[in-house]
Amino acid sequence: MRCVGFLYTTRLAKLLDPASSTAWLAPREKGVDELLNDTQVKEFLEKVKVDELFKDIGSAKKMTSEQTQAVIGKFNGQVIFDDPKIPPRDVGMRLDQDGPMDIKMFKQGAREAFSHASGSTGDKNFQGFSGGSQAILVNVYGDDGYLQLYPSKGLGYLIGNYYERKGLTSFQRAGTISLHRSR
């Protein structure tokens, strides 16, 4: 009976202390700046995949100045889906020094975006994970799609996981993304 009470209390504590929800993530992020090739990136992104993103969205916090500096500028890239039957999606992201941001997703080859989020670094579209994580949480699809981004000094661009909503209160990793700085 005491064991069940301990498990219940532990789970409840994680719900009541949002900082603990992604505390496990920070130690797994070590080495992000030393990544040099696609194999290392794939292994890293699998290691930092978040299983309970819905809860982590609720405990997200304002980005640190270091995180903000990493995403200031213009970026272009692609979401590559885990399901090979789904074609990649092109992504364009812009974040200005003074805060305004814009992120668009396009079906491959399309000229019009099917998803467009705009705002500033202080709103829900660009946030940081709690618990000391380096990850940047970006809302890219009207609360139905999120990016978990990492700047990598070794690679010189942003890498991350792409999540889509599955049901009312859950998200599932649908693919990975790389965003290269453009001019």
Is 183 in contact with 74 (CB distance < 8 Å)?
A: yes
User: Among 2-6, 57-61, 151-155, which stretch is predicted with the lowest mean pLDDT?
Assistant: 2-6
pLDDT of 41 above 60 = yes
Q: Is the torsion defined by CA of 37, 154, 91, 170 positive or negative?
A: positive
Q: What percent of the chain has pLDDT over 70?
A: 85
Which of 1, 4, 25 is CA-nearest to residue 129?
Answer: 25
Digit-coded pLDDT (tens) for 85-120 = 999 999 999 888 776 788 888 887 778 877 877 776
Amino acid residing at 67: Q
> Structural domain of residue 64, as residue ranges?
2-182
Rounded Cα distance between 122 and 153, Å, is 25
* Total-model pTM: 0.83
CATH number of the domain encompassing residue 126:
2.40.128
pLDDT of 180 above 90 = yes
Counted domains in the chain:
1
pLDDT band at 177 (very low <50, low <70, confident <90, very high): very high
Q: What is the pLDDT of residue 21?
A: 64
Digit-coded pLDDT (tens) for 118-136 = 776 667 788 888 888 899 8
pLDDT band at 8 (very low <50, low <70, confident <90, very high): very low
- Which DSSP string corresponds to 124-142? TTEEE-STT---EEEE-ST
